[in-house]
Structure 1
Amino acid sequence: MENLKRLLNISYPIVQAPMLGVTTPAMVAAVANTGALGSLPVGGLSPERTLELIKTTKSLTRHSFAVNLFAHPPAETVNKEELDLMQNFLAELCQEYSIPFERKDVDSFQFYYYEDLFQVLLDEDIKVVSFTFGQLNSDTITAFKNKGTILIGTATSVAEAQQLMQDGIDIITVQGLEAGGHRGTFLINEPVPQVGLLSLLPQVADQVSLPLLAAGGIYDARTIKAAFTLGASGVQVGSLFITADESAASETYKKAVLQSQETSTILTQAFSGRWARGIHNEFMRRMEAKGLSIPYYTFQNQLIGPIRTYAQQHQLKDMIAMWAGQSAGRASRGTTEQIITRLINELSAEYKSA
């Protein structure tokens, strides 16, 4: 634990999970200001938007924070027939819900990868960089290492953790099946690893000699202590912050999280083409029933993006990607500072009474 805190320059071994579409600079800064680690997600964003978000976050805190990248492979050549069938289905569904839908030609898709963003992070002297969906190439790792940047990778299996250790990564986030949002899987996508944290974390700890962050189902001092017992040096918490005042989640999304039970979420590829855990809704059901082949992540994610945005703005629960973990129902209202401080105080009280 102490090594992790030293590496990340934090007072408490708690990391706020980077949640694209939910996390805001205000949330990241609030976590950083308490002595934990805030994480700013920028995966898939443009260099200009990435710089803007970093500068906004810096204006709100003097503490360091992590910036999170997507490390998935470049877009594959999409099957045009699959893309057309998907767009036909989405057009019909959007008409039913009175959502504007604009068809896209294959050539109109524009993607940004971590290679487009890492120079921004170097120039802004970001001290901690986390990543998910894959591995960074050796040149990128070397560039960050030369700058003294601490690197955090994401693993959903023992083999992925071992690969990240071989790559020279400093810290590994061990993502259990309970975790909300996208799976960080990168070695074997089909079938996606479905290993719970209770099983995965000690197995990774037995094979990897790096500090580990436990992710999935963490919501109080008990679950944090359990993660420490199983081999973690720290924890990553996501779903608890969805309902924070600083969260960008819509009110409909927040209410769904607060009302969720341990059985409310499922794994789905419907919204993005990558496996992710979210609260089951009509969009997922309709996509499952249709049985269409889902285009590669970057294509499907861009097709659905405007639909998700419109649904959020207009509180259309059936069409929102409500990413959440199996313990999301333990979330509560409040500021980010109140939520993270409660965790810190609970943990401190546990160790004082031990």
Structure 2
Amino acid sequence: MTLLEQLAIQHPLFLAPMAGVSTAKLAAEVSNQGGLGSLGLGAASLASAKQQILETKALTNRPFQVNFFCHQSSLQDTPRNRTWIEHLKPQFEKFGAELPHDLDCIYPSFLDNDDYLNLVLDTQPKAVSFHFGIPHERQIKALKDAGIITMVSATNLAEAREIEAAGIDIIIAQGIEAGGHRGIFNENIDSGIKTADLVKLLAAHCSLPIVAAGGVMNGFQAQYLLNLGAAAVQLGTAFVQCKSSSANAAYRTALLSKPITQITSSISGRPARGIINAWAKSVDLPERVEVAPYPYAYDLGKQLNAAALKQGNSEYGAFWAGSNVIQVRELEATDLMNQLILEMNQYDE
């Protein structure tokens, strides 16, 4: 059975699960055009995640995926957190904001308990994907017993082999060009492999279907990756500008006016690619101290962004975007899907 048959979709195009930006409407629009829509639920509460899934089901009878974070949760490291807070003191002072005393673990992991697992089992989306790691063996078994297709992001061959050994159904090959957080299992080791090279590498050494992710903005690029051995292609940044995403006005403006991205761990505590802004210019300097662990650093990053926004400054926002952001087109999701399919059909090696 091919990947398309397995997922019951018409076109090998996935919407990337963009936490905080994806919406039920956007996911449904992609699914209704024959692709695989997606909900990024890693930052959602249990109640919000359930609501988004049910809303998507009401908008489409086509398959879609849900995505969760699968990181190894870090215990509160008060001295390290405090050092990071003090390091960002000058940034808070710019906006007359008080420094927080403590940082919270704002994003739980799928590994921490079975609340999100039970939600998936109850609502039965077609597929569930994971970022930052692999679910527990018993969680994978429960999903597979329920007939739910499982997918996990890999950034190198070692991770892909772990995914395959764990009994996951599909590998998402996330290249270095991808916007947002790197899916690496250990953020201290990043192979930095380009999407095309990663697809070729995994196609040669793995037996599972591979979904290429990272830097894809048009159908020509998508078809190129399919020809290299990918079974499908995942796009995220290309869809952020759609009206049906929940991106704010500053994010949309940045996508269309700032063509350069950079990977930083300063914002969240894990490496992530986004549009260059004040974090790159004022924080990612040689004297930067050790960043607080994820997601405690993200709590501080969001507080700093909130303080800046009160003063009309959006330069501390996390505007995640892939390396080819300059190629983003102002198209709504339905039109973008149609254009991608057209370009794939027109591809000429």
Give TM-score scaled by structure 2 length: 0.92
Deviation readout 1:135-177 (Å, 9 max, x if unpaired): 1110100000110000011000011111101111111110111
Once the two structures are superposed, residues 249-280 of structure 1 have per-residue CA deviations (whole angstroms, 9 ceiling, x without a partner) of 2222222212233xx11110011000111111
Q: How far 1:101 moved relative to its partner?
A: 5.3
Candidates 274, 285, 295, aligned match of 2:292: 295
2:333 is aligned, of 333, 336, 340, to: 336
Equivalent residue of 2:284, what SS? helix
1:56-88 per-residue CA deviation (whole Å, 9 max, x = no partner) reads 22222222210001110122341x222122223
- Greater shift in the superposed pair: 39-48 or 314-323: 314-323
Give the match for residue 150 of structure 2.
151
Trace 1:124-139 onto structure 2 (pairs within 5 A): 124-139=123-138
Q: Partners of 1:34 and 1:164 in 2: how far apart?
A: 29
- Which residue is equivalent to 1:93? 91
Matches of 1:176 and 1:248 in 2, distance apart?
25
User: How does 1:30-49 map onto structure 2 within 5 Å?
Assistant: 30-49=29-48
Which whole-Å CA distance do the structure 1 matches of 2:198 and 2:177 have between them? 11
Write the distance in 2 (CA, Å) between the matches of 1:239 and 1:101: 34
How far apart, in 2, do the equivalents of 1:7 and 1:151 lie?
11
Identical positions, percent: 31
Give the whole-Å Cα distance in 2 for the aligned partners of 1:337 and 1:316.
33
Q: 5+ unaligned residues in a row in structure 2: which ranges?
A: none
The DSSP-based 3-state class of the residue aligned with 1:75 is: coil
Amino acid aligned to 1:287? V
Secondary structure at the aligned position of 2:121 is classed as: helix
SS in 2 for 1:162: helix
Residue 91 of structure 1 and its aligned partner are, at CA, apart by 4.6
Query: 1:339 Cα shift?
Result: 1.3
CA contact (8 A) 1:179 1:326 kept: yes
Q: Offset of 1:22 from its aligned partner?
A: 1.6
Residue 264 of structure 2 corresponds to: 268
Summarize deviations over 1:214-242 as a string: whole Å, max 9, x none. Answer: 11121222211210121101100011011
Distance 2:130 2:141 in 1: 15
- Asked whether the equivalents of residues 250 and 313 of structure 1 are also in contact (C-alpha less than 8 Å), the reply is no
Q: Alpha carbons of 1:330 and 1:309: their partners in 2 closer, same or farther (altered >3 Å)?
A: farther
CA spacing shift, 1:39–1:315, aligned 2, 3 Å: farther
| Counterpart selection for 1:255 from 253, 256, 262 | 253
Superposed displacement of residue 23, structure 1: 1.2
Contact persistence 1:24–1:248 (CA under 8 A): yes
The alpha-carbon deviation at position 92 of structure 1 amounts to 3.7
Structure 1 segment 279-318 matched on structure 2, within 5 A: 279-289=275-285, 290-308=287-305, 316-318=313-315
State the distance in 1 between where 2:98 and 2:52 align.
28
Which amino acid counterpart does residue 72 of structure 1 have in structure 2? H
User: 299-308 or 201-210: which moved more?
Assistant: 299-308
Q: Which AA in structure 1 matches 2:254?
A: A
Instruction: Read off the aligned partner of 1:292 and give its amino acid letter.
Output: V
Q: How many angstroms apart in 1 are the aligned matches of 2:345 and 2:87?
A: 52
Amino acid at match of 2:14: V
Give matches, 1:224-263, under 5 Å: 224-261=222-259
What amino acid sits opposite 2:322 in the alignment? Answer: G
* Structure 1 residue 329: Cα displacement: 1.3
CA contact (8 A) 1:44 1:111 kept: yes
Q: Which amino acid aligns with 1:218?
A: V
Q: Which range moved further: 331-340 or 264-273?
A: 331-340
Secondary structure of the corresponding residue to residue 295 of structure 2: helix
C-alpha separation in 1, matches of 2:299 and 2:328:
29
The question of whether the paired residues in 2 share the 8 Å contact of 1:276 and 1:323 is answered with yes
SS at match of 1:130: strand
Q: Which amino acid aligns with 1:245?
A: K
Normalised by the size of structure 1, how large is the TM-score? Answer: 0.91
Return closer, same or farther for 1:81/1:326 CA change in 2, 3 Å cut-off: same
Structure-2 change in CA distance of 1:17 and 1:95 (3 Å): same
Deviation at 1:313, TM superposition (A): 8.4
Tell me how far apart the structure 1 counterparts of residues 270 and 140 of structure 2 sit (CA, whole Å): 25
Task: State yes or no: 1:323 paired with 2:324.
Answer: no
Q: CA deviation at 1:198?
A: 2.4
What is the Cα deviation at residue 283 of structure 1? 2.1
